[in-house]
Amino acid sequence: ADLLILDEWGYVPVDREGSQLLFRVVADSYESRSLVITTNLEFSKWGSVFTDDQMAAAMIDRLAHHGHLLVFEGESYRMKHALMKQR
């Protein structure tokens, strides 16, 4: 695939084997295909999700080298339109 989309990156903690597999996906994609990653985690928290600070740093390094960081701020669309919101 020319484009790989990884949605909700870091939403659930990943065990060591899963972290290694995700690192492999990022490393194998580096300079050969486009990746889109969505996450609400800042980079400083990636080490705790992927069980290894060095592996997280290596992922971030590869992603940031040719990447574009888009930060969306403001009210959550889901929370704004939630049916169960407090009144």
- Who's near 54: CB < 8 A, 6+ residues apart? none
Task: Check residue 51 and give left, alpha or beta (phi > 0: left; psi -120 to 50: alpha).
Answer: left
Radius of gyration of the chain (CA): 15
Tokens of 28: 């194998």
CATH class for the domain made up of 3-85: alpha beta
Domain ranges of the chain: 3-85
Q: What is the pLDDT of residue 34?
A: 95
pLDDT along the chain (87 residues), means of 10: 92 90 93 93 90 91 94 86 72
Tell me which residue of 4, 69, 70 sits closest to 32, measured CA to CA: 4
